[in-house]
Structure 1
Amino acid sequence: MKTLILAAEGEAINPVLPHTSEIILGLVAFLLLLFIMKKFVAPRFETLYAERAAKIEGGIEKAEQAQAHAQELLEQYKAQLAEARAEAARIRDDARIEGEQIISELRAKAQEESARIVAQGQTQLETQRAQIVAELRGELGKLAVDLADRVVGESLEDEVRRRGTVDRFLAELDGASAPATK
């Protein structure tokens, strides 16, 4: 009603301008809200912000440390891998050299064994040849004596005569065959 009375007195009420009491009450409420925000809310936000920033920075530091550690491990791995490759190459070279030595030793042993077998074979052949020649000389001598017995008509039973005749005949035979083989 008071507004009506004032309106009746001739003062015009401006609907855009608030009343003074509303302005004072709004200003007090704003200052009270500002005080509460500065006293309680802003410090809480600051601590949460600082904690979060510290966590992020700590996480970045941890990530950088982990990355540095991973890089060190990678370098160690690469060094070990290079060392293992060098060791493998050295082992391969040693094995190849050892293999070549074994092959050359086996070749030398095989050649020695071959030479021994050939020499043994030649010795055996010479022995057999000498044995066969002796057998053939005896047989040839007997045949020659029998033939001479028939041709000459006299007996060559005397051992000394027979041996002399056979030896002479074989010497002539050897003499005749020696120029033919050369």
Structure 2
Amino acid sequence: MITTSMILANEGETADAPNPLLPLWFDITWSLVAFAVVLFVFWKFVIPNYRKVLDERRDTIEGGIERAEAAQAEAAASLKAYREQLAGAREEAAGIREEARNQGTQIIADLKAQATAESDRIIANGHTQLDAQRQQVVSELRGDLGKMSVDLAEKLVGASLQDDVKQAGTVDRFLAELDDAASAK
């Protein structure tokens, strides 16, 4: 019981004493004044600067994103233009190759035509030369044959056939007979 009476005695003493958990009224007042001053300074100076810095950062980030999007769009447009140029270059190369093939075919055809014309000309010249040589050989053979015929006739007849007019007539008559005999065969 002694302990109980002591506890009760202590409780009576504490009723007049201030509560250590609750501050005094002037501490609360001065704390509220200091808090109001700090709040005012923060509200007037710190928070606007903080918002300004945050807005600048947001603008910088959004601007960076917009610049990145613009750069990406520009890169996509450049890539598209490059691909279009590449496709155009491929089409142009295909056209050039096709034109080169056509020109090659045309050149080959022209060269063949020239070669054919040249060979025809050479053949025609050969025929012309051959005809001229044949005519020359025929005329030489006629002359030689006429002379041999006259010599043979002189030996057979025993008379002289030195007269040129007689000799030419005899030779012509003999050759005409030979031509008639050759055409009859």
Q: Normalising to structure 2: TM-score of the pair?
A: 0.71
**Which shifted more, 136-145 or 55-64?**
136-145
Identity value in percent: 54
**Residue of 43, 50, 57 corresponding to 1:52:** 57
Deviation at 1:32, TM superposition (A): 4.1
Counterpart AA for 2:159 = E
Name structure 2 gaps, 5 residues minimum: 1-12, 15-19
* TM-score scaled by length of structure 1: 0.72
Give 1:34 deviation, angstroms.
Answer: 4.1
Amino acid at match of 1:72: A
Kindly tell me the number of residue pairs found equivalent between the two proteins: 173
Query: Higher relative CO (CA 8 A, sep ≥ 6), structure 1 or 2?
Result: 2
How far has the Cα of 1:63 moved from its partner?
1.1
Residue 145 (structure 2) aligned to one of 134, 140, 156:
140
**Amino acid of the structure 2 residue aligned with 1:80:** Q
Deviation at 1:47, TM superposition (A): 0.9
Structure 1 residue 104: Cα displacement: 2.0
Residue pairs, 1:125-164, within 5 angstroms: 125-164=130-169
2:107 to 91, 102, 111: 102
Whichever residue aligns with residue 157 of structure 1, its letter is Q
Separation (CA, whole Å) in 2 of partners of 1:157 and 1:67: 118
Q: Measure the CA separation in 1 of the matches of 2:178 and 2:77.
A: 97
The residue aligned with 2:86 is 81
Amino acid at match of 2:82: Y
Q: How far off its partner does 1:163 sit?
A: 2.4
**Structure 1: runs of 5 or more not aligned:** 1-9
Moved more, 55-64 or 160-169: 160-169
1:119 paired with 2:124, answer yes
Q: For residue 164 of structure 2, what is the amino acid of its counterpart?
A: E
